[in-house]
Each structure stands twice: as structure tokens, then as C-alpha cells.
Amino acid sequence: MDEIREETNSAEAIRQEIKEKRRTYWRGAITGAASVMAVLLIVLLIGIYSGAVVIGGKGGTGGSQTVTASDGDLLSKDVINKLDNLADQINADYYEDVDREDLINGMYKGLFEGIGDPYSEYYTPEEYEDIMISTHANYYGIGAGLTQDKNTMEVSVTHIYDNSPAQEAGLKEGDKIVKVDDIEATSMELSELVTNIRGEEGTTVHLVIEREGESENLEFDVSRAKVDIPTVAYKMLENNIGYIQVSEFAENTPTQFSDAITDLQGQGMEKLVIDLRDNGGGMVVSCQQMLDMILPEGTVVYTEDKYGNRQDYTSDAEHYLDMPIAVLVNGNSASASEIFAGAIRDFDYGTLIGTTTFGKGIVQNIMQLKDGSAIKLTVAKYYTPNGDNIHGTGITPDVEIEYEYTGDTEGTYDEMQDNQILKAIEVLNGEE
């Protein structure tokens, strides 16, 4: 660790001079930021978001409570003055220049950190855009999965999605990206590089690729298009047992899930394994739509806010699967995955196999602000059909079995070497 040295010659005089030169600028910046924060707080507290659940009550469910801006009383004159003084101190004494926008965003983020809830947070416009890509599971890009070596910063292609621009252009897994247009791939973090690969539909991005076995770099002009990221994979196992893996509950997941069921039924599926291991959750509505394809009529999950307002998510009697079902879960199965598993358990409609789930029984809403930024706020608890809130405890499976893979870990994954899948097959075949 570098030794910290303290400069003593005229340090105080220099500090004061810097303060005087920049005090006016930063007081204006912080005052402006504080004003924006005040507006943000008022908006939050009175709940006037277009198309979002109203804070303080469930929009459309009745019984909402009135919360006034004065209840917060957060930005008093003393608080504003302290923010002003802190900014002066940072500007005068911090060893590097500080970006004004970073400080302002830091204040917004700090407001949500003060809640003490790891699931509530503030997003800059850029962060919100990334969140929406994940939520909707589609974006305008080339359809390639990328990874970056943390030491060399080298960027490699790990996956090419079917029917994507990357596949059509001839990119392959294992390719190393040397340049994106005029940008050296190793010159920036992967998250920043990706923003230069994505772009408007129909435009092109020029990629310089290093490929093993090629003596010279290859060049590709790849047209950007809307890319649907697969969240469902499936196949038929032995004895007409269908296998569906769901990696997350995104906006397009119900459609992919429905297509998988239809295809497997066409192949003669008589039993079904649904794999939710390492699925961190996603959209409650997507989860509900998928449960509606499986379960008979009834409430599959319900939420309650702090005012007691309840919202039920239901399955109707029109479609359901009349076959034995096993659901695989583990400690990384969270949120919507636990909603799914809890409904299967409470309907007594299948067997849960694996290890205890994560234990996230609360619901967040993401609400966009007019400037493009957004907030994610925990607004309610959710309950399984039988009234259990599993937050902090998780769901214990019917058959507990730790994961063990007996195949070659360096080779291609084989479901038939996965002991939890094998256990599910045993259960479905009635061998236990």
C-alpha cells in the first residue's frame, strides 16, 4: 500500500483559496441538486407516477393512504447547508477533481441506501436502460454473449444466439474482439464496450476479430437488429419426460415457455421436469402467466402492502397440465422462482427437488422519472396461496438432495449426469 504523505507548507492557505474560487459554483450545484431531490421526494411521497403502482397504496385496489411531502421533512435548511459544506470540503481537499454529476447521482443513491433495503435503489438513465434490456430480454444489437478477461481486458465471444445478426454474419464462439469500429476492445470495460456494439435497428457495427487458426484478423460488418434473448431451453428426456429450464422470468419468457410445452407435447411428453435452479426471479406477471398454463383455477400468489391492500394473481380453469411434474430448485432460486415453486407446492401439483431456496418474499416496482432516471422500490410482501411469506427463510423442497455432477466438468453438459435431474426422473417414474 502506498505511503500517505501529508503536505504541510501553506496547506490551509491553499485550501481556503480553492474554496473561495469554487465555493460559488458548488453551492449552486448542490443547491440545484437539493432542489431536484426535493422534487423527487415530493413525487415519491404523493405517488404520481404514470402507469406505476401508487406509493402508499395499490393503484386500482382501493384503500390507498395519503402521504404528504411534509411527512418526510428531509431537506431542512440545516441539511442543505451541510450538503453545501460537504461539497466544499470534497472539492477543496479530495486528491482528484470530482465530477458534479457523479456527486448528484451519489446523493440520490444515498437516499435509497438510507432505507437499509438492498432491493431499493436509484438508477441513472444509463443504468435504467440496462435494467430494461434485462427485464424485457431483448435489445437492438448483434446477438452475441461476451466475456472479458479481468487482467488482459481481452473480449471473447462465449455464445452466438440462433437467428441473430452475429450468426448470420459468421461470428463464432471463441472469437476474440479486437476492435469495435475504431475502438480498441481492450481499452474499456466490457459494459461500456457493449454500449458501442448496440445501437439503432438497421445500423451496422464494424468488428475486427481474431480467430484461432486464422493467420490474419477477420473483419465483419454486422447489422444491428432486435435480439430476443432466450430464457427457456428444453428437450425430451427418456421415458417421454420433458425437461424445461427457465433462466429468468422476463417479459418474453411466457411465450417461450408455452412454445416449449407445445413442442414437447407434440413429441409425446407424459411427465415434466421444470428446472428453476439459479433462476434469480424476474417479473411477477410473467411467473403468473406461466403458472396459469400449468395449474387449475385459483390464486397462485398474492401481495400485500403496508396498508393491508391485497392484490391476487390467479390461474383460470381454461388450461392446465394434467401430468406428473417435478420442479428443481436451489439456494439461488429466488423471488419469482419461489413464487412458482410455492404455488406448485401449495396446489399439491408437483414435487420440489433440490435444496432450500433463497428466501426473497418481497416485491419491487421500477418507476421511471421524467429525466430518464428511475427508482426501484420495495412496495409489498408476497404470499404463497396458503398464506406463507417466505422472506428470509425460503422454501424447503419435498426431496432434499445436494447437487453433484458425475460427468466431465470440462466437457459438454449432460443432463443425465446431473444427480438432481436423475432424482426427478426417479420421482416421476415412481421409483422412490
Q: Which active-site residues does the annotation give? A: 335, 346, 360
Burial string for 58-81 (b: 16+ CB within 10 Å, else e) reads beebeebeebebeeeeebeeeebe
Choose among 405, 412, 285, 424: nearest CA to 354.
424
What gap in Å lies between CA 349 and CA 27, rounded to an integer? Answer: 62
Residue 207 DSSP class: E
Q: How many CA atoms lie within 13 A of 414 on its CB side?
A: 10
Pairing of strands 204-210, 176-180: antiparallel
What gap in Å lies between CA 399 and CA 99, rounded to an integer? Answer: 54
What gap in Å lies between CA 193 and CA 355, rounded to an integer? Answer: 38
Could you tell me if 168 and 196 are in contact, meaning their C-beta atoms sit under 8 angstroms apart? no
SS3 156: strand
How many Cβ atoms are within 10 Å of 29's Cβ, its own excluded? 18
Task: Give the residues across from 368 on adjacent strands.
Answer: 374
